[in-house]
């Protein structure tokens, strides 16, 4: 066929993505289409739309009322469409270039056809289709599976059919509104062809906290809408297949989403009446091959006895916890944590400290602890330490994820950490969590990140988990105003910001003296007659062995540096704590030292005369010392562009030069005095902006603010 296709694209709140959707339309090999772009403020929308679409009259901009549901918007689109066929493309998604061609080539006399759907986290994706995989599948009895995602997108549908059947999206409900359109359609049309090669890329929205997609709506919203739509559509008039589809949808929602809410008993009151009404409509046969827990839940709901259901629900949660508990060693500990330790009383004067997930005795937790050791003698301390290091003050030490770890996590009134806690950590009512965090941000953080490129997660999951974490923080330390502003936004943080500077930097103010430095060097057997270069790069999100274990390939030419500067300098190599690569230091003995295992980088700062880093926050702290800083940023393009993006302009604001090659590095070290002179003014400005809160008393200020006397 070569009929006109009307593509309906609601664009509200998707200004960031719409050009990508339109671009994927512009590239279509099938060109006989119009695009209806719907928005409540066309003038402002046009400001962000690429010129090329504004000047092409196939792209039609249609004003819609504001604050209406997407169902209303799509209905307006249908009314305005001129095509013989309708296709829904959401403005945060995009399609492969043969999409419309394949659908129209294969639709024949069928009133509708569907392509394949793929989820993506990114703004461009491609799939390789091997020759010979050209497949069309006919969906008949199982055609309701095509709307298991409750969506009308990616169907090409004859406009005449829509008109004849007077199909409308629900305007009353925000989510699940496609079902009032799709269900009657599938009732009528019993065979739907499905084309494997035409692919619709559905974006997993990367900001479920500030900018959720409809599917990322709150459980409350979803439940409200689902009950509403279900009650409307679930009549005896519809086919057995449609009934089964709706019943299973409700049961699945109950099993996967609502049950989790019911861990908190009070949520039952919120949902119970709605549940009773809908669950009563379910055909009892649907439960035949379901598990016993679900069957019993449904029975209790049907009988409309809230108290009985509440008891049952609590019991079922206990059973689930036991089942999970029995599955692994960690599960058993978590079970005890959740069900036993957490029910025991608090120990009011107990503080649990943890730095970098128990990897070291370091960072701000160390300095807060040291201050408390001296000044808060009535407190007891536990340190999470994965190695057997002996700590001053002889606190109890526990390994992360050991039984004792869980025990103290439950019973301590105070918890101090500089990184995120495991997802299994549940903050008890009355417990006080002090998050020190571990650096002034340069790289975009959490909520400010566009796409997350770390292994084992995706943007949406990463942000949702992060948000759950930051909700548990009572206090957060800000090293400077700049960080304070970013933390509030990127961590969605509304509790107490301690604008005190970093406890970990107290030592840089209070002990920047030759005697201490010599002592520190002797402690680790470093020569005291040579100057020290510290190389402390950060990690790369996309270079890893596996989750949590990152790779780092040193590109700094250490042999050349040794040859050139070996008489005057030594170099300390300090990998980030998530980097698991080993270093080969053959022939570099006496010049290069691997200090990645050294617990406290603040002491390394004190020992060194020059810092070389890249995108690590270490330079914000090091700047307290006003010593030269060089930036070896050989991969800045990839790092800035693809991976993270920066908050500050690296070219203009850093207190030292950006060096791209080993030649540049050698040159800068050789002329370090000139470099310092050149960057003097910038260094001053930088120091004022980022270091002025670090006055040597941060630990004291934090302790006074957080720990009751």
The binding site for ligand C2G (CB under 6 A) comprises 363, 437-439, 441, 445, 536-538, 574-577, 601, 616-618
Q: Which helix (H) or strand (E) holds 270?
A: helix 267-279
Query: Among residues 100 and 477, whose Cβ is nearest to ligand C2G?
Result: 477
Smallest gap from residue 438 Cβ to ligand C2G (A): 4
Query: Among residues 333 and 504, whose Cβ is nearest to ligand C2G?
Result: 504
Handedness of CA 515, 520, 523, 529 (dihedral sign): negative
Query: Among residues 428 and 576, whose Cβ is nearest to ligand C2G?
Result: 576
Strand order of the sheet with strand 569-573? 592-594, 569-573, 531-536, 610-613, 629-632, 658-659
Query: Among residues 267 and 554, whose Cβ is nearest to ligand C2G?
Result: 554
Q: How many CB atoms lie within 10 A of CB 524?
A: 13
Smallest gap from residue 447 Cβ to ligand C2G (A): 12
Query: Among residues 181 and 353, whose Cβ is nearest to ligand C2G?
Result: 353
Query: Among residues 245 and 622, whose Cβ is nearest to ligand C2G?
Result: 622
Smallest gap from residue 698 Cβ to ligand C2G (A): 14
How far apart CA 425 and CA 347 sit, in angstroms, is 17
Q: Which helix (H) or strand (E) holds 25?
A: helix 18-26
Smallest gap from residue 415 Cβ to ligand C2G (A): 19
Smallest gap from residue 442 Cβ to ligand C2G (A): 7
Smallest gap from residue 205 Cβ to ligand C2G (A): 23
Alpha helices in 87-134 (DSSP H): 99-107
Handedness of CA 642, 643, 649, 654 (dihedral sign): negative
Smallest gap from residue 363 Cβ to ligand C2G (A): 6
Q: How many CB atoms lie within 10 A of CB 340?
A: 12
Question: How far lies 465's CA from each of 205, 262, 280, 325, 493, in Å?
Answer: 14, 19, 35, 22, 14
Largest CA distance in the chain: 91
Smallest gap from residue 370 Cβ to ligand C2G (A): 16
Smallest gap from residue 574 Cβ to ligand C2G (A): 5
How far apart CA 628 and CA 668 sit, in angstroms, is 10
Query: Among residues 313 and 599, whose Cβ is nearest to ligand C2G?
Result: 599
Nearest residue to 447 via CA among 495, 407, 487, 479 = 487
Nearest residue to 99 via CA among 37, 45, 31 = 31
Query: Among residues 7 and 579, whose Cβ is nearest to ligand C2G?
Result: 579
Smallest gap from residue 293 Cβ to ligand C2G (A): 41
Smallest gap from residue 297 Cβ to ligand C2G (A): 42
Query: Among residues 199 and 579, whose Cβ is nearest to ligand C2G?
Result: 579
Query: Among residues 143 and 574, whose Cβ is nearest to ligand C2G?
Result: 574
How far apart CA 637 and CA 445 sit, in angstroms, is 18
Smallest gap from residue 469 Cβ to ligand C2G (A): 13
Residue 259 Cα to chain centre, angstroms: 24
Tokens of 261: 């809410």
Smallest gap from residue 533 Cβ to ligand C2G (A): 13
> Can you spell out the DSSP letters for 468-520?
HHHTT-SEEE-SSHHHHHHHHHHTT--SEEE-S--GGGHHHHH--SHHHHHHH
- Give the SS3 label for residue 571: strand
Query: Among residues 431 and 633, whose Cβ is nearest to ligand C2G?
Result: 633
How far apart CA 544 and CA 522 sit, in angstroms, is 35
Query: Among residues 62 and 445, whose Cβ is nearest to ligand C2G?
Result: 445
Query: Among residues 150 and 355, whose Cβ is nearest to ligand C2G?
Result: 355
Smallest gap from residue 142 Cβ to ligand C2G (A): 47
Nearest residue to 37 via CA among 64, 16, 66 = 64
Nearest residue to 137 via CA among 106, 177, 93, 180 = 106
Query: Among residues 96 and 360, whose Cβ is nearest to ligand C2G?
Result: 360
How far apart CA 595 and CA 591 sit, in angstroms, is 12
Phi first, then psi, for residue 403 (nearest 5°) are -60, -40
Residues contacting residue 699 through CB under 8 Å, at least 6 positions apart:
364, 367, 368, 370, 371, 503, 506
Query: Among residues 219 and 526, whose Cβ is nearest to ligand C2G?
Result: 526
How far apart CA 221 and CA 224 sit, in angstroms, is 5
Question: How far lies 480's CA from each of 484, 500, 621, in Å?
Answer: 6, 8, 11
Nearest residue to 538 via CA among 403, 405, 402, 631 = 631
Report the number of secondary-structure helices (H) and strands (E) in the chain.
29, 24
Question: How far lies 261's CA from each of 254, 255, 279, in Å?
Answer: 10, 10, 17
- Give the SS3 label for residue 384: strand
Smallest gap from residue 24 Cβ to ligand C2G (A): 34
Q: Are 658 and 678 in contact (CB under 8 A)?
A: no
CB burial of residue 515 (10 Å; 0-12, 13-18, 19+) = exposed
Query: Among residues 83 and 447, whose Cβ is nearest to ligand C2G?
Result: 447
Query: Among residues 379 and 437, whose Cβ is nearest to ligand C2G?
Result: 437
Helix, strand, coil distribution of the chain in percent, nearest 5: 45, 15, 40
Smallest gap from residue 607 Cβ to ligand C2G (A): 14
Smallest gap from residue 209 Cβ to ligand C2G (A): 18
């Amino acid at each position: 066929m070569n009929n006109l296709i009307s593509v309906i694209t609601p664009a509200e709140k998707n200004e960031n993505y719409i050009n990508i959707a339109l671009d994927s339309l512009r590239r279509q090999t099938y060109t006989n289409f119009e695009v209806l772009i719907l928005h409540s403020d066309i003038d402002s929308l046009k400001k962000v739309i690429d010129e090329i679409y504004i000047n092409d009259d196939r792209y039609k901009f249609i004003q819609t009322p504001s604050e209406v549901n997407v169902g209303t918007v799509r209905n307006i689109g249908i009314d305005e469409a001129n095509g013989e066929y309708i296709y829904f493309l959401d403005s945060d998604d995009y399609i492969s270039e043969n999409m419309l061609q394949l659908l129209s080539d294969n639709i024949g006399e069928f009133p509708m056809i569907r392509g394949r759907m793929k989820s993506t986290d990114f703004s461009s994706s491609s799939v390789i289709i091997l020759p010979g995989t050209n497949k069309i599948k006919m969906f008949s009895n199982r055609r309701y599976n095509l709307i298991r995602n409750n969506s009308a997108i990616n169907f090409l549908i004859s406009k005449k059919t829509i008109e004849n059947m007077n199909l409308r999206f629900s305007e009353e409900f925000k989510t699940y509104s496609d079902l009032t359109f799709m269900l009657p359609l599938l009732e009528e049309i019993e065979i739907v062809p499905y084309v494997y090669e035409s692919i619709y890329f559905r974006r997993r929205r990367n900001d479920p906290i500030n900018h959720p997609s409809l599917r990322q709506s709150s459980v409350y919203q979803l439940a409200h809408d689902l009950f509403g739509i279900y009650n409307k559509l679930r009549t005896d008039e519809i086919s057995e297949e449609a009934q089964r589809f709706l019943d299973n949808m409700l049961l699945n929602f109950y099993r996967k989403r609502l049950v989790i809410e019911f861990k908190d008993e009070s949520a039952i009151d919120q949902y119970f009446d709605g549940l009773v009404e809908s669950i009563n409509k379910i055909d009892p046969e649907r439960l035949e091959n379901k598990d016993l827990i679900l069957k019993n839940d449904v029975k209790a709901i049907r009988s409309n006895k809230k108290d009985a259901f509440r008891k049952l629900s609590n019991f079922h949660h206990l059973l689930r916890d036991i089942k999970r508990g029995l599955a692994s060693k960690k599960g058993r500990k978590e079970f005890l944590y959740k069900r036993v330790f957490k029910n025991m009383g608090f120990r009011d004067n107990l503080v649990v400290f943890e730095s970098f997930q128990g990897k070291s005795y370091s960072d701000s937790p160390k300095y807060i602890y040291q201050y408390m050791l001296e000044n808060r003698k009535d407190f007891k301390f536990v340190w999470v330490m994965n190695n057997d290091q002996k700590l001053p003050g002889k606190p109890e030490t526990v390994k992360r994820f050991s039984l004792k770890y869980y025990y103290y996590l439950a019973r301590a009134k105070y918890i101090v950490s500089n990184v995120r806690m495991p997802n299994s950590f549940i903050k008890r009512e009355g417990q006080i969590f002090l998050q020190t965090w571990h650096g002034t941000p340069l790289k975009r953080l959490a909520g400010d990140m566009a796409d997350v490129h770390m292994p084992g997660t995706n943007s949406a999951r990463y942000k949702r988990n992060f948000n759950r974490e930051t909700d548990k923080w009572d206090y957060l330390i800000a090293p400077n105003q700049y960080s304070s502003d970013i933390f509030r936004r990127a961590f969605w943080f509304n509790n107490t910001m301690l604008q005190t500077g970093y406890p970990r930097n107290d030592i840089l103010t209070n002990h920047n003296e030759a005697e201490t430095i010599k002592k520190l060097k002797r402690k680790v057997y470093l020569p005291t007659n040579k100057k020290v270069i510290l190389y402390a790069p950060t990690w790369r999100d996309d270079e890893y062995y596996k989750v949590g274990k990152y790779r780092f390939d040193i590109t700094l030419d250490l042999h050349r540096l040794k040859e050139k500067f070996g008489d005057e300098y030594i170099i300390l190599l300090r990998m980030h704590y998530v980097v698991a690569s080993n270093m080969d230091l053959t022939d570099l003995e006496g010049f290069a030292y691997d200090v990645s295992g050294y617990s406290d980088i603040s002491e390394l700062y004190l020992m060194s005369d020059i810092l070389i880093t890249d995108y690590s926050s270490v330079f914000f702290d090091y700047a307290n010392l006003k010593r030269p800083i060089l930036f070896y940023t050989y991969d800045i393009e990839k790092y800035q562009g693809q991976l993270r993006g920066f908050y500050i302009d690296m070219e203009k604001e850093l207190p030292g030069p950006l060096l791209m090659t080993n030649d540049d590095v050698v040159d800068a070290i050789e002329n370090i005095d000139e470099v310092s002179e050149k960057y003097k003014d910038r260094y001053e400005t930088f120091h004022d902006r980022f270091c002025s809160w670090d006055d040597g008393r941060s630990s004291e200020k934090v302790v006074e603010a957080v720990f009751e006397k």
